[in-house]
Amino acid sequence: MMLERDIERRVVEIAKKNKWLSFKFVSPAQRGVPDRIFIKGGRIVFIEFKAPGKKLTDIQDYIIRRMVDFGCEVHVCDSVESGCNALSL
């Protein structure tokens, strides 16, 4: 089973090879934000990475639902494949 950080690292590598811009999303004043922001061709995608079988925390679930309500594209990915699918790779 892959660790969350390994899934995230591999998806970032693949995304960068496919000309996606990627930033680690850190918000000191707000816990629960997704791990990464990916940007390409005007498309902005937020991804929360999880180890296989791990669930969102309550605050992560709340923040992601709120972001979606505001029109953001947000994915929760627990594999390299699901991360690549979120970015249409």
Which CATH number describes the domain made up of 4-86? Answer: 3.40.1350.10
CB 45 within 8 A of CB 83: no
Q: Report which secondary-structure segment, H or E, holds 4.
A: helix 4-17
- Phi then psi dihedrals of residue 14, to 5 deg: -65, -45
Residue 1 has pLDDT above 90, yes or no: no
Q: Residue 10: how many CB atoms within 10 A of its CB?
A: 15
- pLDDT by residue (tens digit) across 31-83? 999 999 999 999 999 999 999 999 999 999 999 999 999 999 999 999 999 99
Query: Could you tell me the pTM of the whole model?
Result: 0.95
Q: Domain spans of the chain?
A: 4-86
Q: What is the pLDDT of residue 65?
A: 98
The residue-averaged pLDDT of 8-12 equals: 98
